[in-house]
Structure 1
Amino acid sequence: MRPALAVLVAALSLAACKGPCQELGNRLCRCVGSGTTRDTCERQVQNQISSANPGKDVEDICSARLDTCIEPQGADFCAWVQTECGKASCGLSVEDFNSTDVCPKPAPATP
């Protein structure tokens, strides 16, 4: 019975770590390299989230940023996230990603 309880507790702990803030952090960690560098980045994200213990309002913000932190078609994510629009879209700046000054909208296609 004890091993089953330990597995259940471990599974619940891992599930709690996969919230939108963790996902957003891990998405950004894709740009720091691979292997131990990326593992360290993801561990730091997890540690910061654990120590901050974000509430539902913060999780909602992270969830909204997950929806906007997506590079335009054909762009490299890591290059894009370094732009003003990428930073605003991923919550890395105070700029409003909806502003056409920050993230210009493409001109509509002409028929």
Structure 2
Amino acid sequence: MPAENTPAGNLDDDDYPAYTMGRAADMLGTTPAFLRAIGEAKLITPLRSEGGHRRYSRYQLRIAARARELVDQGTPVEAACRIIILEDQLEEALRLNETMRHGPGGGGGNDGGH
């Protein structure tokens, strides 16, 4: 059986919804209400357990930590979520631009020596 299909294999999966809302809030030093607010702002969408409880992945917790950082600096929650979404879109656009410029291997295409 491949490691990713075992419970231990899920520990390495950044997208595995391993954390309850309470545990996620504790890890971030915030409240469940904050996690609900960034969910309502569509920044993250937690998966639901069979019982309907929210579950968060490590990837989602990193995004939530960035949102908390902005909120702690005085940015309203909705604006913090929008900033993070725009940052993510910019990062993706830059990555695509680089891929198109140099090809999928990242090697030097013909860019005229610039």
Q: Same fold (TM over 0.5)?
A: no
TM-score by length of 2: 0.31
TM-score by length of 1: 0.31
- The structure whose residues are more often strand, as a share, is 2
- The structure whose residues are more often helix, as a share, is 1
